[in-house]
Amino acid sequence: MPYVARNEATAARIIAGVGAVFALIEGLYILMLVLDADQTNRFFLFIKQFAEPLALFFPGLFHTGNADLDIVLNYGLAALFWLIVSGFVARWVAK
């Protein structure tokens, strides 16, 4: 008899996957900012249009005096937020 996935498990995997994609977008944006990518490049602008809204209230949360550290802290927290929230929601849906 073939294995049939439960709908809850499938939904949970999708939710966790979306959270991982959001975190990946934030991570790419962090790398591009810290490594001084060309900010007029189309790929940079494409990632930026998603990363900034996904960062929610995190940009500007910490001001350390080091611009690169501020970027890593603020956008890194946004990425971590998406991983944690999507993980919790995925677990809740899977139950």
DSSP one-letter code for 41? S
- Is 27:4 a contact under the CB 8 Å cutoff? no
Is the pLDDT at 7 greater than 70? The verdict is yes
Number of domains in the chain: 1
Range of 82's domain?
Answer: 3-94
Share of the chain above pLDDT 90, in %: 82
Is the pLDDT at 92 greater than 60? The verdict is yes
- Is 86:18 a contact under the CB 8 Å cutoff? yes
| Residue indicated by tokens 């959001």 | 22
SS3 of 95, please?
coil
User: Could you read off the pLDDT of 46-75 as tens digits, one per residue?
Assistant: 999 999 999 999 999 999 999 999 999 999
User: Could you read off the pLDDT of 75-87 as tens digits, one per residue?
Assistant: 999 999 999 999 9
How far is it, in rounded angstroms, from Cα 85 to Cα 83? 6
